[in-house]
Structure 1
Amino acid sequence: MVPLLQVGALSFSSCFPSPRLHRYPLSRRHPSKPFTMAAKSDDPIREWILTEGKATEIKRISPIGGGCINLATRYDTDTGSFFVKTNRSIGPSMFEGEALGLKAMYETKTIRVPQPFKVGALPQGGSYIIMEYIEFGSSRGNQSILGRKLAEMHKAGKSATGFGFHVDNTIGSTPQINTWSSEWIEFYAEHRLGYQLKLAMKQYGDSTIYEKGQSLMKNMGQLFEGVVIEPCLLHGDLWSGNINSGRSGEPVILDPACYYGHNEAEFGMSWCAGFGASFYNSYFEVMPKQPGFEKRRDLYMLYHYLNHYNLFGSGYRSSAMSIIDNYLRILKS
C-alpha cells in the first residue's frame, strides 16, 4: 500500500510573491536517470498511478493551492493518496533535480521528506513529478526536534565526491550550478556568489555590486581559518514555507534545492525561517558549532539576498550591498 501523506501549500524560495519562470537554460551532466521517463500516453500520471502506483481506482483529483511556479494536485486512490506537481512550460530537468534531492534526503533516514516516485514529460509539453502525500499537522512543529533532525541529516548525508550535486537544480526559479569541486570556498565563490553577481550584472547592469562582490570573493577565505568543512547534504532552501510537520508532530521539509556543502550554508535563509534558540541549541548538540560561525552567517545569507534581488528586484539590493560592504570593511585585502 502506498504510504498516505499530504503535502500542503507549496512555496519557492521567497517570503514574498512568486518569482518568474526560468529565464536561463538548466544544464545537465549526470548520466544516470533514477527517475525514468514515463512512456508517452494521453495521461502518463494516471497511467503510472494505476500500474506502478498499485492503485486500481482514482477516486478523486483535487487541486491544492499555494504553488507559484507549478500546479499542485492531490490524487486520492483506493490504496492511498499521491501528490503531483505539473508544469506546462518547463521540461523534466527541474523536477528530476527536485526528485534527486528528495531521494538523497529520504535515504538518510533522519528528517521526514516526501518520497519521490516518478518524474516524466507531459504529452502536450511540460513535465510532472509524483510523490508521497503527507498529511500535515496543525502547526509547524517543535523547533528543537527540527534542529536535531536537520543536524542528523547533515551528519548522515556526506559526499565522497566533494562539494556540489549530481545535477544542476534550481533555487526558486534561478538555476543553481552544482559542478563538483574539492574546495568549498572555491565552490561557494564561483557557483553561488559569483553566479548571482553575474546575473545581477546581466539583468541590471549593476557594476557596483558586481565589483564589490568580486572583491569579497577574493578575500572571504579569511572567514574560514581553523574551520573543518565537510560536504554535508543540504536542503538548500530552508525557509518557513518549506518547513511543516506531520500529523504526529514530526518535522517535514519540502521543495529542496539540494547540494553537498558546508553545513552552515543551510542557515542562509534564516532571515525568513524563524529559527529560534531551541533550534540552534539542538542543532549544535549534534553538529558542534565551528569557530567563527557568527562571522560567516551573513556570508551565507548573501547568496539568498542576491537571489531575491535577481528574482524580485531592487528591494533586496540594499540588504545584499550592506552585507558586502560590512565584510569589505573587516577583511584584509
Structure 2
Amino acid sequence: MRLISSSTCFTSLPPCFPSSLTKTTKSSPKFSMSMSEDPVREWILSEGKATKITKISPVGGGCINLASRYDTDVGSFFVKTNRSIGPSMFEAEALGLGAMYETRTICVPKPYKFGPLPTGGSFIIMEFIQFGASRGFQSELGRKLAEMHKAGKSSKGYGFDVDNTIGSTPQINTWSSDWVQFYGEHRLGYQLKLLLDQFGDRTIYEKGQRLVKSMGRLFVNVEIEPCLLHGDLWSGNISSNKNGEPVILDPACYYGHSEAEFGMSWCAGFGGSFYDSYFKVMPKQPGFEERRDLYMLYHYLNHYNLFGSGYRSSAMSIIDDYLRLLSA
C-alpha cells in the first residue's frame, strides 16, 4: 500500500547501480550520516556531480513523506523527506530498491543516498524517473516480475536483512528456513496480534491463530524457494517510464514464496495477460488458486489495522472459508 509514495497516495532504465548500497550498514563510510546543514543539497552538489540546483518542485500524493523534484544542470533527482521518522525506514527502502535493481530484470528508481536531517527526521535521494501515460504493459509486467522472482534468490532463507514497513505497519523480516513458519509468525500472526492489541478483536485473533496452525496442509507437495518480492505490489506502486516500460516502486521487499506477491491483487488490476506471461516464466504450482486468498489475508489484516473495521468482514470471511476447508 503506497503510503510513502512519490506520486499517488493510497486511497530510461536506471544507470548502473552500485552494489555496495545493498551492503550498507550504519557504519559504512560511503553512507555515513553526516550532519551538514542541508545534506540533500550537499550530496547533489558533490557526489551528485551537479554544479547548480535550478529548481525545486513539490511532488504531490505522498501520505507520510514529503516528496520533491530537484532539477539541476546534470538532470533531476527525486527526494523524499520525513521530519519525524529516522533513517531506518529509508535505509530499508534503499536496500529493497537495490536488491530489485541488481536482478537486472525490471525498472526501479535507483537510490543514491539516505541519512538523517539535522533538525530531526530523514531523507532519501533517488533517481527521478519521468513517468509515461501507458498502462497497456500487463503482459510485459507479468514477464518482468516473474524474471525478477526467478533471478532474485537468497541463500539465507525467507526474510530480509532489515525489517521494513507495509504501509506504516512494521514488517518483521527475521530470517527463517521454513516458509510456512515465517508466514504464520511474521505475517499473519504479527497482524493478528496487532488487531488484538489495538482493537481487542479476540474473535478474529483466535480464529486466525487456528488458521495459522492448520494452514500447512495448503503447501503439501509445493516446491517453495525464497524469491525476491516487491512485497506491496498494487496499482499505486506500478507505473511506466517514458518508453512505456513498467516501473515498480515503493517496495516492502523480502524473500518469500513467489505467490505472496499477488496478495494485493485485489487492488492491483492484474489481468489475464499478466498471469499468462508470468506463468510462462514461473510455472504455476499445484494449489495456487487455493492459496491465493491466504496471501490476500495478510493485506486485509493490515488494512484493518491501518484503516479500521471496514476491512474486518473481508478478513474474517477468508479466515472462516479456510477453517471450513481445512476441517473437511
- Pick one of 74, 79, 85 that aligns with 1:84: 79
The answer as to 2:98 corresponding to 1:103 is yes
**Structure 2 matches for 1:200-215, cutoff 5 A?**
200-215=195-210
* SS across alignment from 1:158: coil
- Pick one of 33, 40, 49 that aligns with 1:45: 40
Q: 1:173 matched to which residue of 2?
A: 168
CA–CA separation in structure 2 for the residues paired with 1:31 and 1:161: 17
CA contact under 8 A between 1:59 and 1:76: conserved in structure 2?
Answer: yes
Q: 1:158 matched to which residue of 2?
A: 153
**Structure 2 matches for 1:300-311, cutoff 5 A?**
300-311=295-306
Scaled by the length of structure 1, the TM-score of the pair is 0.91
Question: Sequence identity of aligned pairs in percent?
Answer: 76
Q: 2:323 matched to which residue of 1?
A: 328
* SS across alignment from 1:331: helix
Q: 1:116 matched to which residue of 2?
A: 111
**Structure 2 matches for 1:10-21, cutoff 5 A?**
10-11=8-9, 14=10, 16=11
**Relative to structure 2, which stretch is displaced further, 136-145 or 81-90?**
136-145
CA contact under 8 A between 2:6 and 2:67: conserved in structure 1?
Answer: no
Q: Deviations over 1:21-50 (max 9, x none)?
A: xxxxxxxxx983467133111110000000
- Pick one of 200, 212, 221 that aligns with 1:226: 221
CA–CA separation in structure 2 for the residues paired with 1:238 and 1:270: 8
Distance 1:98 1:62, change over 3 A: same
The answer as to 2:254 corresponding to 1:259 is yes
CA contact under 8 A between 2:140 and 2:274: conserved in structure 1?
Answer: yes
Listed as ranges, the gaps of 5+ residues in structure 1 are 1-6, 17-29
CA–CA separation in structure 2 for the residues paired with 1:115 and 1:128: 15
Listed as ranges, the gaps of 5+ residues in structure 2 are 12-22
CA contact under 8 A between 1:141 and 1:250: conserved in structure 2?
Answer: no
CA contact under 8 A between 1:141 and 1:244: conserved in structure 2?
Answer: no
CA–CA separation in structure 1 for the residues paired with 2:31 and 2:157: 26
CA–CA separation in structure 2 for the residues paired with 1:69 and 1:140: 26
CA–CA separation in structure 2 for the residues paired with 1:36 and 1:216: 43
**Counterpart amino acid of residue 308 in structure 2:** G
Scaled by the length of structure 2, the TM-score of the pair is 0.93
**Counterpart amino acid of residue 324 in structure 1:** I
Q: Deviations over 1:62-82 (max 9, x none)?
A: 000010010000000000100
Q: CA deviation at 1:234?
A: 0.1
Q: CA deviation at 1:210?
A: 0.2
CA contact under 8 A between 1:233 and 1:261: conserved in structure 2?
Answer: yes
**Counterpart amino acid of residue 270 in structure 2:** F
Q: 2:276 matched to which residue of 1?
A: 281
CA–CA separation in structure 1 for the residues paired with 2:199 and 2:133: 42
Q: CA deviation at 1:10?
A: 4.4
Q: 1:245 matched to which residue of 2?
A: 240
CA contact under 8 A between 1:10 and 1:255: conserved in structure 2?
Answer: no
Q: 1:9 matched to which residue of 2?
A: 7
**Relative to structure 2, which stretch is displaced further, 30-39 or 254-263?**
30-39
Q: 1:69 matched to which residue of 2?
A: 64
* SS across alignment from 1:103: helix
CA–CA separation in structure 2 for the residues paired with 1:10 and 1:106: 22
**Counterpart amino acid of residue 9 in structure 1:** S
Q: CA deviation at 1:141?
A: 4.0
**Structure 2 matches for 1:178-189, cutoff 5 A?**
178-189=173-184
Q: Deviations over 1:104-143 (max 9, x none)?
A: 0011100000000000100000000000000111123410
The answer as to 2:293 corresponding to 1:298 is yes
Distance 1:10 1:39, change over 3 A: farther
RMSD: 1.4
**Counterpart amino acid of residue 32 in structure 1:** T
Q: CA deviation at 1:242?
A: 0.1
Q: 1:94 matched to which residue of 2?
A: 89
CA–CA separation in structure 1 for the residues paired with 2:156 and 2:279: 25
**Counterpart amino acid of residue 220 in structure 2:** E
CA contact under 8 A between 1:8 and 1:136: conserved in structure 2?
Answer: no
CA–CA separation in structure 2 for the residues paired with 1:65 and 1:32: 31
CA–CA separation in structure 2 for the residues paired with 1:140 and 1:100: 27
Q: 1:22 matched to which residue of 2?
A: none
CA–CA separation in structure 2 for the residues paired with 1:113 and 1:295: 31
Q: 1:24 matched to which residue of 2?
A: none
- Pick one of 44, 50, 53 that aligns with 1:55: 50
CA–CA separation in structure 2 for the residues paired with 1:37 and 1:209: 44
* SS across alignment from 2:109: coil
Q: CA deviation at 1:8?
A: 5.4
CA contact under 8 A between 1:103 and 1:116: conserved in structure 2?
Answer: yes
CA–CA separation in structure 1 for the residues paired with 2:92 and 2:267: 23
CA–CA separation in structure 1 for the residues paired with 2:88 and 2:322: 36
